[in-house]
Amino acid sequence: MPIATSLPDDPRFDLICVGSGFASTFFLVDYLRRAGPRARVLVLERGRHNSHEWQIENRRNSHIDWNDAYVRQGDPKKDWRFTIGFGGGSNCWFGQTPRMMPSDFRMKSLYGVGEDWPLSYEDLEPFYQEAEEIMMVAGSSEDSPFKRSGPYPQPPHRFNGADRLLKQAYPNHHFAMPTVRARVDTRNRPPCCANGVCDLCPVDAKFTIQNELMGLFEDPRVVLLLEAEALEVETQGNIVTGVRYRFQGREHLAEGDLVVVGANALFSPFLLMRSGIRHPRLGRRLYEAASLRAEIFLDGVDCFDGSTLTTGLNYAAYEGPHRRERGTFTIETWNLGPLRVDYGKWRSVLHVYITIEDLPQEQNRVVLSSEDPSKPVAVFEGYSPYLHRGVEAVKAEVPRIMARLPLEKVTFRDKLGQNGGHIQGTVMMGDDPETSVVDRHLIHHTLRNLLVLGASAFPTGPCANPTLTLCALSLWSARHVMTS
């Protein structure tokens, strides 16, 4: 990889990307395809390149501890997890890649709550398809909850025994979990062997930017500067002129015609705010869905014979007018978890992970700190009553859903899970410049050569894991920029 170890001679670039995670990299995929042979791209990445071997040896994804990179405020003090390093969260992610449902884009018009997205499922569908092809997602093409224009590139993983029964009971609502944990080997990856330690996958079976998209950074048009932290976006009137950054202990300025900020939903708004860019909604609506775990005790069902970490995704209670009143939920079935402590029934317990939707709250936000200007402050004042009503519904409905299986009992964990690493909101997209920071193509409403990519743009936070959607949005944005 042509990693620049010294400053580039010429500080002028056609494109400057902040961050080398999913958001920037999927933009680059399309940009490099369409840009001319003399295009110059600078990627500023705050972290190091920690190879897969380094990560396994050191039992961590980055040399920078995510815990120390921001300040928590609020009661309770909520964690927001991420990876600082080349490839960003692709190093630590678990690789679940469901699409959002069409209704998730239209919460306001269908249910009178939240916001509508400024684009529809149909608008994004070709870009979902393309993102799935790039990541080589394994899923069931014939039996998918999502209206698709093409097949999944890899076959689905094998269900476990409980999934097979759930499929019989809910043929239209229980599906194989789409995932980038390889079902069959790719040129660079072996198949997943269901160990379930995917943040540090020992065999490198899940898609990461390192193992499948390194070629982009070997393109002679691209300069990747590691341990280069963007400090400010420079503006002149309504134009962005470049990015000020720190590299090897000194500050430098790179000039760019187009600037893409893809630093995630904590650091992207932080960078904009540090640059003096203001909007009433900038930093607001910091969000991630909550989760509840449960054990489903079954009679005589093997719940550990699937071929990957999570095998099923259940939408039995997802759609419907209840979303006017409370968060809806999906049920992920796991092929992993502690065995049962009943003689002869060791494998007859299904571990499930239930994701519950909330509506992003204005008061949960990223702000600047007067004490330590080098770190964003993530203020979290709690989930809404909409979410808590959703949690009550989960406790009533999950036993009812599971009753179609040979059910013995359901036990719920006491505590809500709040740290899935799915950081969203803070630089909302929309058609109205008064109420949103970026437009439907993720271009800043006023600074028209500035793009802010990633899940920071999401107007609502549905149950689907966010990364596939944010990658599709980066492709959608790049296509617009490069063809309009």
Contact status: 194 vs ligand SF4 (CB under 6 A): yes
- Please give the single-letter amino acid code of residue 162: A
Judged by beta carbon, residue 410 or residue 463, the one nearer ligand FAD is 463
Contact status: 82 vs ligand FAD (CB under 6 A): yes
How many residues are recorded in the chain?
484
Contact status: 23 vs ligand FAD (CB under 6 A): yes
Q: Of ligand SF4, ligand FAD, none, which one sits near residue 206, judging by CB under 5 to 8 A according to partner kind?
A: ligand SF4
Within 13 A of 479's CA, how many CA atoms are on the CB side?
A: 13
Closest contact distance (angstroms) between CB of 139 and ligand SF4 is 15
Contact status: 177 vs ligand SF4 (CB under 6 A): no
Contacting residue, 96, 314, 335, 361, with ligand FAD by CB under 6 A: 96
Tokens found for residue 65:
């501890």
Q: Of ligand FAD, ligand SF4, none, which one sits near residue 378, judging by CB under 5 to 8 A according to partner kind?
A: none
Contact status: 31 vs ligand FAD (CB under 6 A): no
Integer Cα distance of 176 and 311 in angstroms: 6
Integer Cα distance of 34 and 118 in angstroms: 25
Integer Cα distance of 105 and 102 in angstroms: 6
CB-based contacts of 410, cutoff 8 Å, min separation 6: 294, 295, 296, 297, 398, 399, 402
Judged by beta carbon, residue 402 or residue 471, the one nearer ligand FAD is 471
Peptide linkage before 76 cis (omega within 30 of 0): yes
Task: Tally Cβ neighbours within 10 Å of residue 243.
Answer: 26
Judged by beta carbon, residue 93 or residue 159, the one nearer ligand FAD is 93
DSSP structure string for 159-228: P-HHHHHHHHH-TTTEEEPPBSB-SS--SS-PPP-----GGG-TT--B--HHHHSHHHHHSTTEEEETTE
Contact status: 353 vs ligand FAD (CB under 6 A): no
Contact status: 193 vs ligand SF4 (CB under 6 A): yes
Q: Of ligand SF4, ligand FAD, none, which one sits near residue 181, judging by CB under 5 to 8 A according to partner kind?
A: ligand SF4
Contact status: 138 vs ligand SF4 (CB under 6 A): no
Judged by beta carbon, residue 89 or residue 425, the one nearer ligand FAD is 89
Q: Which stretch binds ligand FAD (CB under 6 A): 17-25, 297-305, 348-356, 398-406?
A: 17-25
Integer Cα distance of 210 and 44 in angstroms: 16
Closest contact distance (angstroms) between CB of 182 and ligand SF4 is 8
Contacting residue, 284, 422, 440, 441, with ligand FAD by CB under 6 A: 422
Contact status: 475 vs ligand FAD (CB under 6 A): no
Tokens found for residue 14:
């056609």
Q: How many residues at the interface with ligand SF4, by CB under 6 A?
A: 14
Judged by beta carbon, residue 157 or residue 164, the one nearer ligand SF4 is 157
Closest contact distance (angstroms) between CB of 195 and ligand SF4 is 3
DSSP structure string for 353-407: EEEE-B---TTSEEE--SS-TTS-EEE-----HHHHHHHHHHHHHHHHHHTTS-E
Closest contact distance (angstroms) between CB of 224 and ligand SF4 is 26
Integer Cα distance of 120 and 323 in angstroms: 18
Contacting residue, 40, 164, 173, 206, with ligand SF4 by CB under 6 A: 206
Residues that bind ligand FAD (CB under 6 A): 18-23, 44-47, 81-82, 84-85, 88-89, 92-96, 199, 229-230, 262-264, 267, 271, 421-422, 454-455, 465-467, 470
Residues that bind ligand SF4 (CB under 6 A): 181, 192-198, 201, 203, 205-206, 308-309
